[in-house]
Chain A
């Protein structure tokens, strides 16, 4: 039994090494698609907020919610505590809404869809049947072909610049009562659910970027898993920024009702641009009694070139609220992209015996900067959390782990375990670990382990002496370093992540 399993894992390792060679390029998603776009005017004002709301045909309560956020945001200032240096962002030089023109009227067949849009999906590796659906072809049925061959089913929602362009496998999910659609659609068709939960995990007042998002979010994904339902497939969202000078502000809301389970994947790409592009997303997870959400991210936004020009500024607020007893959340993230990353997926462990886990690989190469980590807020009794963070720095990059473990006085018999490992490649990069641990309950315990290491010459030489070339050797050692985290990803994603890890560090040794 164990042998079979071993072989499967072996298979991944080899594939990585091969893929690294085959790909041979650093950022394969760096294409841009020439599509007629419908822009809102540049800059941010109440009018723009109203326009976004109107474009999405939102009810008045949603508009008011946005406006309140906007009015608060203009009085706030950008946080300056992260270990990040970047040029001031001129928020009035951004476009806050861009939509491919072809989506205005639903096309009747694939031939009517703007070919450039289809090409983009093909480049992203989305199967044709799903491309058709994502392009919004009327009457296209998704996924039927997939049932016959045994490839794993993944339902996809794709967000292109500001707008969700379609969701696959919708009918099949609907039979189980699962709602998986764009958030703009959910606001229109499931207003009660949205109204009940939006902003309850990440309040509009939470932080500068979350408040900005609350005012201008243009689309994103919405998931509701009804009581007792185990979602039979991975749900996935692809985010892509295409248009120049466009900020992408997506908002994701996932609700796992009592006893339900869902695994959700998020992938991101953007074209190569000389100028920096802004991305400020909010993700809210609501986990009720005995429910379980697994949220995995492979973040591959354009990191900028070797000289630090261009790249995405990624300011993301992700938070899970474990409201119910025995609820569980697992965040897994592979952060390889973005020029600047500011991101702390967190868990509020409110329900008794609820559990939060955070597995992270953050890679910063060239001039990338990452300030990332997690917050585990233990409020309920018997709550448990586990943090495994692997930071890799190469080139002239700076990588900071910032984490908070807070155990409330009432959270008796709670536990936290944190492991924080940093790997340095070369001697011009930096790794920083900033853990905050606040334990206010005597019966609760926290553990923190941290290491910093370098890929040493002896490890490399050992691999070389066995006939493995330097590039493969580095990929092997790095994947070994990240193994605990890569294993936490769903199988389909683990492969992609392994490749990404190797590619993003290509040429950084020697």
Chain B
């Protein structure tokens, strides 16, 4: 179970409070969506949960299975099963996609006391995951995200998600920059990874992604707070009437 308790977050650089008391409980197998206008603190939330430097928790707690993760570094949180699908996946020139993924998987395995996979074992695992997601192995031989199209970058995120088998996934505006076909592909990928012991937090501006990935709960976030929570119908309401009437 993933739990956010009375979370207050400052961005160190500007010393400005961005998140102003959020409470959220996500049970295994659940899919939650957070919607909200620009500047409501959605991306700050995703960086805070995954442990990026510069996001200072001034109050409250984040817990995974009743244990606080606040003291853990980003790589330790990842190894514990927290995965962030980036809005803008980062390019790292000269670093092979495959090599990156194997380093990541083995780092996590090592952290969790499992044996590391040799290249052959790794390739076997990766091939299977890539096949399930209809991802061409050719993409894996290129440098990490370098020269990838928007769709390829996002599919590469989903592949990493499939490979690392996290327990809690945050998808930060995964729909941004995708055409309808690419969005369908990515959504199918996410749906195939839904399971009873994996939960999702989907951050998005628009309802359209939620047509493909059906959430159990929808939260509206504004000015660093969750102002309304309901079922999937709330997303449709936002789509029809915008955020304004909810904010007043």
Residues of A within 8 A of B (CB): 2-3, 6-7, 9-11, 13-14, 17, 457-459, 461-470, 472, 476-477, 479-484
Contact = CB atoms under 8 A, between A and B. Distances in A.
11 contacts: A2-B141, A9-B99, A17-B103, A461-B52, A462-B90, A464-B73, A466-B104, A466-B160, A467-B107, A468-B104, A480-B94
B75 A7 contact: no
Interface residues of B, number: 39
A467 B111 contact: yes
Q: In the A-B complex, list the 10 residue pairs whose CB atoms are closest, starting with the nearest.
A: A480-B94, A480-B95, A466-B104, A483-B94, A467-B78, A464-B74, A467-B108, A462-B90, A13-B99, A464-B75
A468 B102 contact: no
B150 interface: no
Interface string B61-93: 000000000000111001100011010011011
B14 to A, nearest CB: 16
Given A6-B141, A13-B103, A14-B119, A465 B96 contact: no
Interface string B88-124: 0110111110111111111110010000000110110
B19 interface: no
B98 A467 contact: no
A463 B99 CA distance: 12
Contacts of B100: 463, 466, 476
A249 to B, nearest CB: 37
Interface string B140-170: 0101000000000000000010001000000
Contacts of A3: 123
Contact of A467 (B75, B92, B94, B119): B75
A470 B75 contact: yes
A91 to B, nearest CB: 42
A461 B160 CA distance: 15
A10 B75 contact: no
B237 interface: no
Nearest to B85: A465
Given A13-B96, A459-B92, A476-B100, A468 B50 contact: no
Interface of B: 50-53, 73-75, 78-79, 83-84, 86, 89-90, 92-96, 98-108, 111, 119-120, 122-123, 141, 143, 160, 164
Contacts of A7: 119-120, 123
A32 to B, nearest CB: 36
Contacts, number: 106
Nearest to B140: A6
Chain A interface secondary structure, helix, strand, loop or mixed?
helix
B120 A468 contact: no
Contacts of B95: 476-477, 479-480, 483
A467 B50 CA distance: 11
Contact of A10 (B83, B119, B143, B160): B119
Contact of B164 (A6, A466, A470, A477): A466
A468 B52 contact: no
A10 B84 contact: no
Contact of A480 (B90, B92, B122): B92
A481 to B, nearest CB: 6
A368 B52 CA distance: 32
A465 B72 CA distance: 12
A14 B78 contact: no
B103 A461 contact: no
A14 B52 contact: no
A147 to B, nearest CB: 28
A450 to B, nearest CB: 15
Contacts of A17: 103
B180 to A, nearest CB: 27
B93 A480 contact: yes
B103 A14 contact: yes
Given A459-B92, A483-B94, A467 B104 contact: yes
Contacts of A14: 99, 102-103, 106, 119
Contacts of A466: 75, 78, 100-101, 104, 107-108, 160, 164
